[in-house]
Amino acid sequence: MSQTLQVVIVPSPGMGHLIPFIEFAKHLVHFHDYFNVTCIIPTIGTPPDAMKASLLALPSNINHIFLPPISFEEDRSDHSEVGNVVLISLAMTRSLPSLRHTLKSLIETNTRVVALLVDSFGTAAFDVANEFKLSSYLFFTSNAMALSTLFYLPKLDEMVSCEFRDLPEPVKIPGCVPVNGRDIGELFQDRKSDTYKLFLNMARRFGLAKGIVLNTFIDIETGALKALMEEDEEYSGGVRPPIYPIGPMIRAGSSDRGRKSDCLTWLDNQPSGSVLYVSFGSGGTLSHNQLIELAFGLEMSQQRFIWVVRSPNDESANAAFFKVQSEKDPFDFLPDGFLERTKQRGLVISSWAPQIEVLGHGSTGGFLTHCGWNSILESVVYGVPMIAWPLFAEQKINAVMLTEDVKVAFRPEVRKEDGGLVIREEIAKVVKKMMEGVEGKKVRKRMRENLTDAASKAFMEDGASRKSLLKLALEWKNQKAGKY
């Protein structure tokens, strides 16, 4: 072919969305070397160093362009999870003029741009793609169950008058296990809010995409993918675009050897499968009271653990998403004497750990996770069963899928009489069940035999995800280039 084909990808702000876009780009150019990828990145404030480092490490056929940062000082009344979602959506919308200018420049330099792949918060960019006669695709960075929920949302909105948390019966989302209304997610619980209306409008615009790319694989979400890919009448009206499940795509291990050496050295000295890894992702935060309960629960369990601890926030469950968090040392919030009492079997790390290397280490036997989809896929790839502790966004839906459908996780109970906290006794019970109980052994076996093996086969030459990526690549190869 005389000219390399260019695919433009547009993630929303935040590492959690950038990571799967980067991994997709790497897989695309590796398996189909007639593509180059340009990653155009809307930003809120100055891009963090970790983001810059990830982008600079990419191969030469993947380029990146930061759009001018969007400021929200006049808009931001709080830093709640709901506020953050609205900010992300606004950032994507306010970045459209810069995106338009950048696309125009690419096309005018005789670059053969054949497709625009955007984040779920960036569906307004479909209109920009149309201006350049570009085919626009959606990259949904969560899973098929969450996508099925969003496609079902307009119909559910018409059927139900109360708040979803007040529904007396579980919601039957097409292709998925029934979900209690309270587990649909905090972002959907106030139907009069701007956030709910944003997601409702987002779901309706998904159908405008020429195709939807999903970082999942058939063996982990058979029912949801089947419902999305077939003519399921349970969804509301409108045609669903073709679905391309191309996962699991996870990031490679860190190249920062200095930061991770102490952590992995400690793991080297622990028995096989004996350590529980505790982390709430790049943005998750606990309240002060919940942090105290978790500390005592880990201590009471008498199990080995690595805990990535972050300063608490009583206002938001994802206060660290845009670095809006306490500057105090997180160790200052731990119970008195906790570090001393647990030093023989626990390692507490401030804010960051090399998650890929920890999950891939032979001493790691469990993962207490916030149920972000990236973390779930990483755990699946390395065969580590989970304790599901969802915090925000679609994570409660993910927790239901893990515990009720594929059954590779335990979920601690949250009771009203405990003030909405997961209390220390419950934490200790679930941790012990995972790490030393018979049920934990069954979950570990189920994870490795049903999911981890299937994940490793998905990108083999005849694997379903490899074939799905090939189908998408051929479709893009045959697209006409964008014009201005």
Per-residue pLDDT of the chain (484 residues; tens, 9 = 90+): 446 899 999 999 888 889 999 999 999 999 999 999 999 999 988 888 888 988 999 999 999 999 999 877 655 544 444 467 888 888 999 999 999 999 999 998 877 999 999 999 999 999 999 999 999 999 999 999 999 999 999 999 999 999 999 999 999 999 999 999 999 987 888 999 888 999 999 988 999 999 999 999 999 999 999 999 987 677 866 678 999 999 999 987 654 544 546 899 999 999 999 999 999 988 889 999 999 999 999 999 999 999 999 999 887 776 555 554 456 899 999 999 999 999 999 999 997 899 999 999 999 999 999 999 999 999 999 999 999 999 988 999 999 999 999 999 999 999 888 888 999 999 999 999 999 989 999 999 999 999 999 999 999 999 999 999 999 999 999 988 777 6
Q: 257-457 belongs to which homologous superfamily?
A: Glycogen Phosphorylase B; (3.40.50.2000)
β partners of residue 278: 307, 368
CATH 3.10.20.740 fits domain 5-247+459-477:
no
Overall pTM surpassing 0.85 (yes/no): yes
Strands across the sheet containing 275-279: 346-350, 304-309, 275-279, 364-369, 386-388, 409-410
For 128-142, write each residue's pLDDT tens digit: 999 999 999 999 999
**One-letter amino acid for residue 161 of the chain:** S
For 22-81, write each residue's pLDDT tens digit: 999 999 999 999 999 999 999 988 888 888 988 999 999 999 999 999 877 655 544 444
Angle separating helix axes 438-446 and 424-436, nearest 10 degrees: 60
Name 19's Cβ contacts closer than 8 Å, sequence gap at least 6: 54, 251, 374
Same fold for the domain at 5-247+459-477 and the one at 257-457?
Answer: yes
Domain-wise residue ranges, the chain: 5-247+459-477, 257-457
User: Would you name the residues annotated as active-site residues?
Assistant: 17, 119
Rounded to a whole number, what is the distance in angstroms from the first to the last CA of the chain?
22
In this structure, are residues 209 and 138 in contact, taking their beta carbons and an 8 Å threshold?
yes
Residue of 279, 443, 246, 274 whose CA lies nearest to 375 = 279
